[in-house]
């Protein structure tokens, strides 16, 4: 257990955090010559960014019939809702699982299941607290539709939060994706929603803590 915690806290940073980490180091070096307060500020900022942008390795379960959590964090909503209209998946409600990522969580997003990216749509919006239910509808977001190997479709939505102002996504429409693979990151504090295929029910409840790329959210064969 102690070894697992060590690997989580001291995991290498995601490349998206390197400009921030280097900025803190530069401030530390300059402050060492000009002002100690700047050195302390730069050092603390670099350490915070090293922690925030950590990117630990994850091992996805070897089961093709399950959907995995797309992010670390706490589940704040489990309820039926229509998927984002910009994805063209229809108006029928399906189960939506909302995961809130605090600044203490790993913020790297991961693919829930094997499949193909069919649609990516970015929508500008508000920046309210991502833990609120209306954040899934009102906040700035990046929505991704994935067609599973059996032809059914899911949606993953990266949602900006109160502090977050930058959503990064490495995917392109037409990409073949693998369960547990990294696909993006959100800075700093955010939310990630997963829309299940129609007729599939979740195996999780509000308040549970998720591990992105490892925790099973639903069983497609159930």
pLDDT in tens, 142-152: 999 999 999 99
Neighbours of 120 (CB within 10 A): 18
* Total count of domains within the chain: 2
The end-to-end CA distance of the chain, in Å, is 32
Tell how strand 216-219 and strand 94-101 pair up: unpaired
Quote the CA–CA distance of 190 and 30 in Å, as a whole number: 32
Same domain, 24 and 132: no
Same domain, 76 and 170: yes
- Give the per-residue pLDDT at 125: 65
pLDDT in tens, 172-192: 999 999 999 999 988 766 889
91 CB contacts (<8 Å, ≥6 apart)?
A: 82, 85
> Which CATH number belongs to the domain containing residue 130 in this structure?
2.70.70
Active site residue 102: no
String of DSSP letters for 76-98: EEEEEEPPPGGGT--S--EEEEE
Domain hosting residue 156, numbered range: 66-219
Catalytic, out of 64, 102, 190, 221: 190
For the cut 90, the answer to whether the pLDDT of residue 166 exceeds it is no
Same domain, 77 and 19: no
> Which range scores top for mean pLDDT: 15-24, 154-163, 197-206?
197-206
Which residue has better confidence, 93 or 33?
93
pLDDT bracket for residue 133 (50, 70, 90): low
- Give the per-residue pLDDT at 1: 59
Quote the CA–CA distance of 102 and 171 in Å, as a whole number: 24
Q: Considering the domain boundaries, does residue 61 fall inside one?
A: no
pLDDT bracket for residue 91 (50, 70, 90): very high
Same domain, 72 and 174: yes
Same domain, 178 and 74: yes
Beta bridge partners of 187: 166
Average pLDDT score, the chain:
86
Q: What is the pTM of this model?
A: 0.87
Same domain, 105 and 33: no
């Amino acid at each position: 257990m102690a070894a697992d915690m060590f690997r989580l806290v001291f995991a290498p940073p995601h490349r998206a955090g390197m400009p921030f980490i280097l900025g803190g180091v530069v401030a530390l070096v300059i402050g060492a010559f000009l002002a100690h307060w700047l050195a302390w500020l730069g050092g603390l900022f670099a350490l915070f960014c090293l922690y925030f942008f950590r990117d630990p390795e994850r091992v996805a379960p070897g089961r093709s019939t399950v959907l995995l959590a797309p992010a670390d964090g706490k589940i704040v909503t489990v309820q039926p809702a229509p998927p984002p209209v910009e994805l063209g998946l229809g108006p029928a409600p399906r189960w939506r699982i909302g995961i809130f990522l605090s600044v203490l969580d790993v913020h790297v997003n991961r693919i829930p299941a094997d499949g193909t990216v069919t649609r990516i749509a970015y929508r500008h919006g508000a920046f309210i607290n991502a833990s609120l239910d209306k954040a899934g509808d009102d906040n700035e977001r990046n929505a991704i539709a994935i067609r599973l190997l059996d032809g059914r479709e899911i949606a993953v939505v990266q949602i900006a939060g109160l502090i977050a102002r930058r959503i990064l996504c490495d995917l392109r429409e037409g990409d073949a994706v693998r369960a547990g693979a990294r696909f993006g990151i959100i800075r700093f504090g955010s939310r990630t929603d997963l829309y299940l295929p129609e007729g599939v029910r979740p195996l999780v409840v509000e308040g549970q803590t998720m591990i992105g790329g490892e925790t099973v959210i639903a069983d497609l064969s159930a």
